Structure 1
Amino acid sequence: MNPETIVVIGAGLAAATLVRELRARGYDGVLRVIGDESALPYERPPLSKGFLQGADEVADFTVNTAAWYAENHVDLRLDTRAISIDRKHQHVVLADGTTIDYDALVLATGARSRLGGSEPMAGHDLPGVHLLRTLKDAQALKEQITDGTQVAVIGSGWIGMEVAASSRALGARVTVYSPDDLPLAKVFGERFGHHLLELHQRHGVDVRTGTRVQGIELVDRHLQVVSDAGSSRAEVVLLAIGAVPNVELAETAGLEVDRGVIVDASLRSSDSKILVIGDAAQAFNTRLRRQLQVEHWDNAIRQGKLAAATLLGADESYDWLPYFFTDQFDLGMEYVGDAKATDETVVRGTENEFVIFWLRERRITAAANVNIWDVNDTLRALVGREIDPARLADDSITLEEL
């Protein structure tokens, strides 16, 4: 492929990894990156953890320095919004009316916070109600959470539970409104859901399970969360009910779109000159033999590298398993695989240091190490194998022996 001019829309981790990999592989053509945030491309996981708690500075999770972009002749345009793609003439139209020509275009448009179902949640735009997707979001949230602040978290996914843990570490009083009986059990099953719930309860988080929130109100200059369990006062509210991939540019350009933009195993869209990477990509995974839309740090890095390979004509494909990690209180977890909540689970280890295996018809679909380190590569190699559950549970047999 080796195009003369590559334009990237989106300036997150996937985009920053892509341009770094292109230069590392010797690409010397024109590189332009268009991003609508003002900050240099950065990693998002610290926003709900280290940065929120004050342990990480922005420089710690910025992918490349400003000097790197200058030295490597990458035209990085921040605070700039792309509004349309003209596929016929191969150019991108910017909000100021100017156009940028491309030989190859990469969409790394990411995702945005979900505001509700078919309608935004009532009160989502009130002062003191926050989303957490960008550095600007995290800075605003961080400014309001101090010792004793009453924080309400609506949603019990990864972002919600991580912010709950970080807020408690800062001394805040925290209530989590979970629509499910157990946090994350729909994804990871009841065993892990129970563990996560008990972890937060031990650290003083009021987790209200099976509770649906109808909206947020301002009463006597104070926020109130209105739920089917009654109304509760809060000073800070985080709306953490999921994310929506940013596919509008692709959709209006006529690309094939489902939840994400449909791309093949090399990350090419229905227009071979346009690739899609990161949260907005619904890519064909050759190992799992189906389209996957994955919104995790590891995937952004790997797809950035794969897109660089594709652009330079290398024969590589999306063949890795989903991976993610979380840190909450004294829990550190890494997960690899593609399990369903209905899969059988097998646990080996102690109450606080253990490995969970998910199995379907005795075949491992995923594995997670909790407070046990340097084993994730071994677990990755076990996924897909058929192993006796009794052997998996027997920690006298090492993971390598399995």
Structure 2
Amino acid sequence: MDGSMVIIGGGLAAAKTVEALRDKGFDGAITVLAAEAHLPYERPPLSKDLLAGKAEPAALYPFDADWYARHRVDVHTGVRATKIDRAGRFVLTDQGSAVHYDKLVLATGSRPRPFPGDPEVAYLRTLDDAQALRARLGEGKSLLIVGAGWIGLEVAATARAAGTQVTVLEPQPLPLVKILGESIAELIADLHRRHGVHLHLGTGVAGIDVGDAPGGRVRADDGTVYEADTVLVGIGAIPEVGLAEAAGLAVSNGVDVDAGLATSDPNIFAVGDIANHDHPVLGRLRVEHWATALHQPAVAAANLLGHHEQYTRLPYFYTDQYEFGMEYRGHASGEDRVVIRGDTDTLDFLAFWLDADHRVLAGMNVNRWDDGDDIAALIAAGTPVDPDALADPAVRLDTLAGPLR
């Protein structure tokens, strides 16, 4: 197929879209517009190995400059797309150029949710953010994190390993309780406390007074004042949908895409953090995790080339915090019933989230790496399971999918 493809974005989703297009035989022009001054890169190491000093920036790039050159991909770094002209099929940039497309892929990702008033605090979203934060960690240094979400907790674990004094303020009664439920959230809170994190739960933030930015004083809603060399805000992310909205695409909690990742304009697709996907099994949802950016591009690329595929993978994410390593599959909430199999005291267990009909909505394997496929099969089956059998390590997981016996 000839023609031209333009990809807007500088993350893993952009890189994998390029790869998938070439792997599937597309021989036309490919242009990537990446707003950051870096080749497209992966973001999970930003709060893990890169922040810990165990990896250098080059390790984050799925492909180097030579790879893009060999595959005839024109990558423009430090160039931001400013407007999509759907009628003329071109993208305007902040460099004053107009890039024509036959098909367009939006992989613009998300940005950190700012703290009200926009104080000069630290955020962690980009490679530059991570390198700046890495230089501020170590013995004798202090870090205050606003928000005990995944990013905040991963940074807390990495900072403690570097000898940094860490304080976390979180308005919810437990970290991640709305996602994981009380039992697993309490386990994670205890884990961080054991590793020396000063975890203040049920504590909101009334204001931040920045001194030697990004350090300063944080005023909690109970009047307590905390000081730290660095204040990091991790209170969620906002999908980068401005281009899509201005272009008149359907947007609701992200860019609305069908099961095959096409937007309301059949010539424009969206992948990764911004894709508000009509999942064939789970319904409409948007997933801000690495696996989405890794796998959605192959389906989008196939459909860009005239096929009719659907993205059916279950949501997946993972985390490593101290001795707690886990994988999570599926989609549930903290309101769903949690069933535990194994020993939570030794962090060697599985957890399952069940709906009212005893169907498995999601599953987590903690420090156990051979159960992922069986967990996925239970979720995909969509049939009731016996909660007692699910909790019993003597009962094989692969025997549980099906009607209650």
TM-score when normalising by structure 2: 0.95
Counterpart of 1:287 in structure 2 is 281
**Deviation for aligned residue 1:374:** 2.4
**Deviation for aligned residue 1:262:** 0.7
- Aligned pairs for 1:287-366 within 5 A: 287-288=281-282, 290-351=283-344, 352-360=347-355, 361-366=357-362
Task: Measure, in 1, the Cα distance between the counterparts of 2:301 and 2:183.
Answer: 40
Task: Measure, in 2, the Cα distance between the counterparts of 1:277 and 1:95.
Answer: 23
**Deviation for aligned residue 1:61:** 2.2
Counterpart of 1:210 in structure 2 is 202
Q: Do structure 1's residue 30 and structure 2's residue 35 form an aligned pair? A: no
The Cα offsets for residues 151-177 of structure 1, whole Å up to 9 and x where unpaired, read as 100001000000000000000000000
Counterpart of 1:237 in structure 2 is 231
Q: Secondary structure of the equivalent of 1:144? A: coil
**Deviation for aligned residue 1:218:** 3.7
- Aligned pairs for 1:3-402 within 5 A: 4-116=3-115, 121-122=116-117, 124-125=119-120, 129-218=121-210, 223-229=216-222, 230-288=224-282, 290-351=283-344, 352-360=347-355, 361-383=357-379, 384-402=382-400
Task: Measure, in 1, the Cα distance between the counterparts of 2:131 and 2:68.
Answer: 25
**Deviation for aligned residue 1:26:** 1.4
Task: Measure, in 2, the Cα distance between the counterparts of 1:27 and 1:96.
Answer: 28
**Deviation for aligned residue 1:3:** 5.5
Contact 1:110 1:246 in 2 (8 A): yes
Q: Secondary structure of the equivalent of 2:248? A: coil
Q: Secondary structure of the equivalent of 2:10? A: coil
TM-score when normalising by structure 1: 0.95
Query: Aligned in 2, Cα 1:144/1:219: closer, same or farther, shift over 3 Å?
Result: closer
Query: Aligned in 2, Cα 1:31/1:228: closer, same or farther, shift over 3 Å?
Result: same
The Cα offsets for residues 174-197 of structure 1, whole Å up to 9 and x where unpaired, read as 000011110001111011101100
In structure 1, what residue type is equivalent to 2:105? V
- Where does the alignment leave 5 or more consecutive residues of structure 1 unmatched? none
**Deviation for aligned residue 1:240:** 0.3
- Where does the alignment leave 5 or more consecutive residues of structure 2 unmatched? 401-405
Task: Measure, in 1, the Cα distance between the counterparts of 2:182 and 2:306.
Answer: 45
The Cα offsets for residues 326-352 of structure 1, whole Å up to 9 and x where unpaired, read as 000100010001112111110010121
**Deviation for aligned residue 1:219:** 5.6
Contact 1:85 1:93 in 2 (8 A): yes
**Deviation for aligned residue 1:235:** 0.5
In structure 2, what residue type is equivalent to 1:19? V
**Deviation for aligned residue 1:301:** 1.1
Q: Secondary structure of the equivalent of 1:115? A: coil
Query: Aligned in 2, Cα 1:38/1:270: closer, same or farther, shift over 3 Å?
Result: same
Aligned residue pairs: how many? 393
In structure 2, what residue type is equivalent to 1:266? G
Query: Aligned in 2, Cα 1:220/1:139: closer, same or farther, shift over 3 Å?
Result: closer
Task: Measure, in 2, the Cα distance between the counterparts of 1:73 and 1:314.
Answer: 23
In structure 2, what residue type is equivalent to 1:154? V
In structure 2, what residue type is equivalent to 1:312? L
The Cα offsets for residues 266-298 of structure 1, whole Å up to 9 and x where unpaired, read as 11111111111111111110011x211111000
Query: Aligned in 2, Cα 1:220/1:287: closer, same or farther, shift over 3 Å?
Result: closer
In structure 1, what residue type is equivalent to 2:147? G
Identity of counterpart residues, as a percentage? 46
Which runs of at least 4 in structure 1 moved beyond 4 Å after TM superposition?
Answer: 219-222
Query: Aligned in 2, Cα 1:220/1:314: closer, same or farther, shift over 3 Å?
Result: closer
Contact 2:329 2:364 in 1 (8 A): yes
